[in-house]
Amino acid sequence: MFIHERRLEQSAVAREATLLTERQEKVAISKELAEAQGRIEGLLKEINSANRKTDQLQDTIERFVVFVARKSRTCPVFASVCKHPAALEFLTAKDCSCTLIIFLTLNCIISVVSGHA
């Protein structure tokens, strides 16, 4: 009987040791999971921010395209500069009042969108 009790006791001690190890592993895994979830939340925030910026840029470009289309219909100087950028050097200061700004802005937007900036 003594041997049987001793084996049961050893078995119980081994199970307790295994249980303790499993609990420690669970705590470590839970901590890693919480850290990973935090990193994922941070990345999601970055993605959402980038999406908002992309949407804002798209809206700005769309508004600018509408503006350019309207301006080129009402301002022949602007329309000719858009078609022939080299004509820019022949404009007078009066012609350049907003045409130059619009043209340069358009070139900047095109450079950014095409990845040449």
pLDDT tens digit sequence for 92-104 = 555 555 556 666 6
17-40 residue pLDDT tens: 899 999 999 999 999 999 999 999
The residue with greater pLDDT, 34 or 55, is 34
The pLDDT value given to residue 42: 96
Encode burial over 93-108: b for 16+ CB neighbours within 10 A, e otherwise: eebeeebeebbeebee
At a CB cut-off of 8 Å and minimum separation 6, what does 71 contact?
Answer: 78, 102
Q: Are 40 and 78 in contact (CB under 8 A)?
A: no
The answer on pLDDT for 91 being more than 60 is no
The pLDDT value given to residue 60: 80
Q: Give the DSSP letter of residue 88.
A: G
